[in-house]
């Protein structure tokens, strides 16, 4: 089963594919091994801070509807409809 830390690790490693464009002086892109070493270090450093992100928590099994990270918090729905009070 995958944990939240595993998902973060893969996301960081994927994001580092474009590191050459972001890091000044990096003439070559990072190899896959280098990207995953950086990603592992990021996850390890976050865990050193008490793990408020719950990186060790297992994710629920996939339901076949695709993967989506659980929502961080529920936000009220935004509406573009005019307010009733403004119509008066």
Which tens digits make up the pLDDT trace of 53-88? Answer: 888 888 877 666 655 666 565 445 554 555 555 554
What pLDDT, in 10s, does the model give residues 4-56?
899 999 999 998 888 777 777 777 888 999 999 999 999 998 888 887 888 88
Residue that is written with structure tokens 């190899």 in the block: 31
Q: Break the chain into its structural domains and give their ranges.
A: 1-59
Torsion angle, CA of 71/76/82/84, rounded to 10 degrees?
160
Identify the residue whose tokens are 């590191």: 19
Tell me if residue 3 falls in helix, strand or coil.
strand
Question: What does the alpha-carbon distance between residue 14 and residue 11 come to, in Å, rounded to a whole number?
Answer: 5
Q: Within a 13 Å sphere around the CA of 19, how many CA atoms are in the beta-carbon half?
A: 19
């Amino acid at each position: 089963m995958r944990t939240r830390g595993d998902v973060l690790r893969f996301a960081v490693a994927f994001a580092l594919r474009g590191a050459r464009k972001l890091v000044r002086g990096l003439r070559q892109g990072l190899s896959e091994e280098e990207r995953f070493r950086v990603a592992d270090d990021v996850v390890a450093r976050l865990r050193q801070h008490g793990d408020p992100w719950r990186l060790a928590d297992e994710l629920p099994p996939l339901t076949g509807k695709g993967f989506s990270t659980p929502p961080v918090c529920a936000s009220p729905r935004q509406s573009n409809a005019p307010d009733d009070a403004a119509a008066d």
